[in-house]
Amino acid sequence: MRRWMMAALCLCLGADASGQNGRVLFEGGTVFTVAGEGAGEIERGHVLVRGGVIEAVGEGDAPEELREGATVVDCSGKTLMPGMVDTHSHLGGIGGADGTGPIQPGVRVMDSINVRSSGFRRALAGGLTTLNIMPGSGHLSSGRTIYVKLRFFPETETQPAGPRTIRDVFILGDDRRPMGGLKMANGTNSIRDSAGFPGTRAKSAFLVREQFIKAQEYAAKWDAWNAKAEEGDDPGAPPARDLHLETFVDAMNGDIVVHHHTHRHDDIITVLRLAEEFGFRVVLHHVSEAWKVADEIASFEGVPGPDGEPWGAPCSVILVDSPGGKLEAIDLIYETGGVLEKAGARVAMHTDDWITDSRLFNRMAALAVRAGMSREAAIRSLTIEGARMLDLADRVGSLEAGKDADLVVMSGDPLSVYTKIEQTWVEGVKVFDRSDPEDLFYAQGGYGAGQDIDPYFCCYDHLMKGGAQ
């Protein structure tokens, strides 16, 4: 059933792939460029795309010279916004660290992902184009995350449609290596009655500090060996590599961002204390109680970011429909986004899929608006703010010339329940089209559309039985 559908689907997508080489012009609709400070709303604008990159964005219709040979996507009465960026997803049947220990930063989630998981089709239906896929919950550090672009290839004579391997969705950094961050957690998430795991918050912080200090010593050893080698001396055998410590060193060097699960106000402050001590760049994830310490978060400077400005303590917020379900989310409120915005903190949203559904990512921002966040900040929280948290703000998250041509065409207001996501484009290729019955199938669900591989969390059974999480 599923194989047949995939085959049928790629026939349609194949026909749409013209945008890859030619020009595609989106015009006639409201455009949220999300460039600059606000949401960059243009009442009637156009976006011209060529070779997977945005060539021009402007008001009104495109000038004649740009229209030449372009395939026009009529967006009259519709809304155009950047492909959405999800800073925290568990799609792809992921698995990270296992139950053997609380700190396993060397484990890479990229080694566990099934790129054919139906969840990715739902993410495209939700207008998501860039994801930070994280290893699962329940550890102080459960491993390296991976930043992916939801590319979707047409069928060929020898290959079915879609991404074929994890390599097809990598986002490569300047060093040509796949980009990603490091997942960490504190609070009750990683406290458990199991050998080696912490039983208290103080023990959690101690275990993490102990490993970071080991990583400092490990880095010093390597620095000394490298210095010797550079000076032309015989440095002897290199120090033994340690994948876990190596990852912590990457974080302390600022090469990767720490994505830190943290809910309770005191846990949030603990994260900031550790970030200060070890100089890593951090994104605070979930932050159910950030509203209690919004000023502390907003005024935190931290180490310099890639642009030389203080990295700060950006927050990636999740709103679930009700508070509770676990002790650290008792005081979760819809107001968090708005309170952080007013305090001056940076705010993105995330699905935490499967916690919330990727098809409804825009709904979360709308719930934040329901409780006081500005519409502009809400639209930014779905796009550019997340891009910045993944070091991708120069490539995705806004509609600006030179950036990746990742766009979403919607039927109306991005924050309305009545709005449908009609098209999703990644790097100039249409990867979701609601008018295509097979895409609609994944957008709505139905027989064969569901999750084919469940994510692995070490504490998963425990969670679903409603235990003391």
Partner 1 sequence: MRLLTAFAALFVSSAATPQDADLLVYGEVVYTMEGGELNAIEDGVVYIEDGVIQAVGPADGTQIPKKAMETRRAAVVVPGLIDPRSTAGLTGIYNQPQDQDIIETSKPIQPELRALDAYNGRDELVGFLRAKGVTTLHTGHAAGEAMSGQLFVVKTREGSVGESVLVETSAVSATLAPSALNSGGKGPGTRAKLAMILRDELIDAQEYKAKVDAWQAKKDAFDAHTPAEGESEPDESAPKDPGDPPSRNLRLEALASVLSGDVPLLVTANRAQDIDTALRLADEFGFTLWLDSGAEAYLVAEELRAAGVPVFLHPTMARPWGDMQNMSWTTAGRLADAGLTVMTQSGYEGYVPKVRVVLFEAAIAAVNGWGFERALAGLTITPARVLGIDDRVGSIEIGKDGDLALYDGDPFEYTTRCVGTVIEGVVVSDGE
- Residue 45: CB minimum distance to partner 1, A: 24
> DSSP assignment of 24-71, as one string?
EEEEEEEEE---SSS--EEEEEEEEEETTEEEEEEESSPPHHHHTTPE
Distant-in-sequence, close-in-space partners of 177: CB < 8 Å, separation ≥ 6: none
- Residue 417: CB minimum distance to partner 1, A: 5
The tokens for 406 are 């990742």
Stretch that binds partner 1, among 7-15, 271-279, 296-304, 441-449 (CB under 8 A): 441-449
- Among residues 215 and 368, whose Cβ is nearest to partner 1? 368
What is the dihedral sign for C-alpha 246, 251, 256, 259? positive
Tell which one of 56, 72, 303, 371 touches partner 1 (CB under 8 A): 371
Which H/E stretch holds residue 252?
helix 243-252
3-state SS class at 360: helix
**Can residue 449 be called a binding residue for partner 1 (CB under 8 A)?**
yes
84-89/128-133 β-pairing: parallel
- Residue 3: CB minimum distance to partner 1, A: 16
**Can residue 357 be called a binding residue for partner 1 (CB under 8 A)?**
yes
Stretch that binds partner 1, among 274-282, 328-336, 343-351, 421-429 (CB under 8 A): 328-336
- Among residues 306 and 324, whose Cβ is nearest to partner 1? 324
Tell which one of 222, 354, 374, 412 touches partner 1 (CB under 8 A): 354
Tell which one of 24, 25, 140, 329 touches partner 1 (CB under 8 A): 329
The tokens for 108 are 């890479």
Contact 23, 49 (CB under 8 A): yes
Q: Which parts of 405-424 interact with partner 1 (CB under 8 A)?
A: 415-418
- Residue 401: CB minimum distance to partner 1, A: 32
- Among residues 6 and 360, whose Cβ is nearest to partner 1? 360
Tell which one of 325, 394, 395, 412 touches partner 1 (CB under 8 A): 325
**Can residue 363 be called a binding residue for partner 1 (CB under 8 A)?**
yes
- Residue 131: CB minimum distance to partner 1, A: 18
Tell which one of 199, 330, 344, 437 touches partner 1 (CB under 8 A): 330
- Residue 465: CB minimum distance to partner 1, A: 6
- Among residues 83 and 414, whose Cβ is nearest to partner 1? 414
Q: Centre a 10 Å sphere on the Cβ of residue 376 and count the other Cβ atoms it contains.
A: 17
Give the C-alpha separation, 397 to 379, whole Å. 10
- Among residues 261 and 363, whose Cβ is nearest to partner 1? 363
- Among residues 7 and 464, whose Cβ is nearest to partner 1? 464
Interface with partner 1: number of residues (CB under 8 A): 46
Distant-in-sequence, close-in-space partners of 316: CB < 8 Å, separation ≥ 6: 87, 88, 259, 283, 284, 285, 286, 287, 347, 348, 349, 350, 386, 389
**Can residue 448 be called a binding residue for partner 1 (CB under 8 A)?**
yes
**Can residue 367 be called a binding residue for partner 1 (CB under 8 A)?**
yes
Contacts 24+ apart (CB under 8 A), 318-324: 318/88, 318/285, 318/286, 318/349, 318/350, 318/351, 318/352, 318/355, 318/356, 318/364, 319/349, 319/364, 319/367, 319/368, 320/355, 320/356, 323/288
Tell which one of 209, 370, 394, 395 touches partner 1 (CB under 8 A): 370
Q: Which parts of 275-294 interact with partner 1 (CB under 8 A)?
A: 291
**Cα atoms found within 13 Å of the Cα of residue 188, Cβ hemisphere only:** 15
- Residue 252: CB minimum distance to partner 1, A: 33
Contact 274, 298 (CB under 8 A): no
How far lies 64's CA from each of 43, 61, 164, 202, in Å?
A: 20, 9, 39, 65
**Can residue 321 be called a binding residue for partner 1 (CB under 8 A)?**
yes
Question: Site residues (CB under 8 A) for partner 1?
Answer: 291, 320-327, 329-331, 333-334, 354-357, 360, 363, 366-367, 369-371, 415-418, 444-452, 454, 463-469
